[in-house]
Each structure stands twice: as C-alpha cells, then as structure tokens.
Amino acid sequence: MNKLKNERGFSLAWVIGIVVVTSIISALTAGVIVYNNNKLSYDLTYGDLATDTDLNEFLTVYASILSDYYEDVDKGALLDEAIAGMMDYLGDDYSTYLDDESTADLFDSLSGEYTGIGVSINNSNKSIVKVYDNTPASKAGIQVGDIIVGFNDTDVRGESASNVVNMIKNTSDYFTLQLEREGKTITVSLKNETLITPNVEYYMVENTTTGYLYMETFSNTLSKQVEDALNDLENQGMTSLIIDLRDNTGGFLTAATDVASIFLKKGSRIYSLDYQGDVSNYNDKTSEHKEYNIVVLINENTASAAEILAAALKESYGATIVGETSFGKGKVQQTMKLDDGSMVKYTSALWLTPNGTCIDGTGIKPDYAISNEEQKDENGTIIGISDLQLSKAIEILNGITN
C-alpha cells in the first residue's frame, strides 16, 4: 500500500496497545452484529419445545448416546458439534458457531476498550512505533524508537513480541520495563489501565481545508472517537471531509447507526431491515448533523456495517463514493451467547440502503471507479502502492471548495 496506508495498517492492526489482543476480523466474522441474548426466539416458548416431536427425537438420540455408547462421551463437545451442525445446515456463510475462545476474541475486538499501557510495538524487534496520548506509556515517558529489552528486570531480548505482550497484559500490579534508547538502558515503572482502542486515524490534508478520517472497526466506542476527531478537524478549519472505509469489515450495527447519526439530518433514513418480507425503517433521531462535502473511500474489503454507513452517506447525505465496488454483505446477524461462553451467530434479516436497495452479493458501486497502482522496482518487486483513490478524493473536494 502507499505510505499512508502502510503506517495506518501497522499502527492500528498491532494496537496491542501493549496491549490490545488483536485478531483479524474478516467480513465473515465481524459482519453486522446485533444482540439477541434475552429471549428464546421470536415466536417459540419452552412450552412449545416440550411438545416438539422432532426435538424430542433428537433428545432421545442424545440420551441414548450418553447411556449406551461403548466409550465415555464428552457431553459438552457432543452438544457443541450438534450446534455447529445446525449452523452448517443453514448453508449461510455468516451463520456460524464460535467456541468460547473465538467468542471472547470477537467481542474483545469490538468492545472498543482494552487493558494495557497504550503503545504499538514492532513485531520483529519489540521497538515502540507509537505512543498514544494520555496513557500510562505516555505519562511514564516512553518514546517512539525505544526497544523493550527487559520486563521486571528480566532480560526479554530472546522472547517473542507476543510473549512480552502477554507478560505485560497479564500483570495487574505495577511493573517495570527496561528500554534501550540511544545505546543506553532506562527503566520505567507503570501499570495497565482500561483504555479506548484507537479505531480512527485523522489529519488535515496538507495545503487544503480537507480533513481525512479513517475508521478501522465499528466498535462500541467508535462514534465517540469520530466525534472527537471531527471536533479537532473542525477546529483546524476543515470545510470538507474524506472518510476512509477501505478494508473496514464491519462490527456492531449500533455503531454504524451512531456514526451515521453524526452526519445526517434528523429524520433521514439510515437503513431498513427486511425480516421475511416485513420491512422496518431506521431513521436518524438526533438533532446533530453536518453540512460539509464528503467523499467516502471504499474497496472490495469494505463490508457490512461499513457498507451501511457508506450507503447512508451516499443516499441520505449526498456524499460521493470513490474506489472499488464493496464486498456486498447485505445481511444482519443476531448473536446468542451460550452458558459455556461460546456463541451462535445467525443471519436474521437483510438490510436495505435508504433507497430500499439490497446490496447482498453485489456491493456498493462507486461514483468514481478507481484502483490503486502498484509501484515496482527494476526487478518487478512491489515496493509500494500509489493511492490514486485518495488522490481523486482530494481532487474532487478541492474542485468543489475552490
């Protein structure tokens, strides 16, 4: 990718903040997620299930295996496989069973918070590549370029970055880090805190009044981060905005709704849900809105909740879309956590754009279809990418404002 994308992807993806537990959330995992933890189902009760002959047949088989199978059977594992089998039967890529570890990883990634000291580190040499403001790391004086060489006076030069991360994040009390800086070793004392996972990156485009705002994941804290970023950009004189949703694979539906509501006028359509032909509309209920020109960047990895925001900005706000056709995930998933910490995630509805379009399988087509170009050396090795999509967005907004 271009220099901007390389820096952004590295610092945010490894926001193990010493230390966010990161996992790469694909479109099949994050999606558009809503909760469904407090009810059995839309129209079934336990009384209905008690008289369900098909279910009783399943229970008979289950009981027979437990009592008559020639070897001991792990009841939990047996039921896990049965649940996974039900999800597989649906034949829907987005309806899945997640074990307790995968469930924890997913919700940790989307919670918008983490326990750590607030740095990003290089995976190869354990050097500090970013220190976040107002965190234990910044307050302790840790600097970009410092290399972690010790933990609680124990040499960790031979340890992997992930092992060092685990040492730090699993420590509840104060600890020390030994850091190599300009040939000298210094020691800092600090303690983990609950911090907001940075899901945005923003800046003013040089020599313009255009702001740039990248959103990585639709986490629980995204709307607050977007509001803070916009306030800062507006204070710097921003009159137009580029919203970068490239490689954003989604997250919580509520987060997409909250972010869209920052920009849209009250009463504007954000999306609709189609549940077995019954369509419900969801409009902006807030008084807040923006009026500056917006260009949204998308690519083939822009999916689900990110597509909801892109479509709402295009059709209800009048934003211009630049880039490549998006992933095309027009389905919403309900989640149901099970007692053992695992979870089932299943498709419950189609979502529609403000104009009533279902983009499932087709995606959002940009107003300006542009692909980035690879930069290669004389041997044909890719050494970078020219971000023509970002350049086009700047060109469009400069043309409007000038």
Calpha distance 352→316 (Å, rounded): 13
| Residue 390 to residues 50, 154, 214, 309, Cα–Cα distance (Å) | 58, 46, 11, 18
The tokens describing 238, both together, are 């921003």
315 catalytic? Reply is yes
Instruction: Kindly give the residue spans of alpha helices, DSSP state H, lying in 236-275.
Output: 253-263
Calpha distance 218→301 (Å, rounded): 14
172 catalytic? Reply is no
The answer to whether the CB of 5 falls within 8 A of the CB of 390 is no
Task: Report the 10 Å Cβ neighbour count for 239.
Answer: 16
Q: Where are the beta strands (DSSP E) in 216-370?
A: 240-244, 250-252, 269-275, 278-283, 293-298, 320-323, 331-337, 343-352, 368-369
Among 304, 316, 326, 342, the active-site one is: 304
φ, ψ of residue 333 in degrees (nearest 5): -110, 135
What's the CA angle centered on 263, arms 301 and 1, to 5 degrees? 30
| Residue 145 to residues 134, 154, 155, 166, 293, Cα–Cα distance (Å) | 19, 20, 18, 21, 38
First to last CA, the chain: 29
Among 329, 331, 345, 392, the active-site one is: 329
- Partnered with residue 118 across adjacent β-strands are none
382 Cβ contact partners less than 8 Å away, ≥ 6 residues apart: 374, 375, 376
Among 120, 315, 342, 392, the active-site one is: 315
Calpha distance 218→223 (Å, rounded): 8
329 catalytic? Reply is yes
Calpha distance 303→30 (Å, rounded): 9
Amino acid at the residue 330: G
The tokens describing 37, both together, are 């933890």
3 state SS of 321:
strand
φ, ψ of residue 45 in degrees (nearest 5): -120, 170
What letter would DSSP give residue 218? Answer: B
Could you give the residue numbers annotated as active site?
A: 304, 315, 329
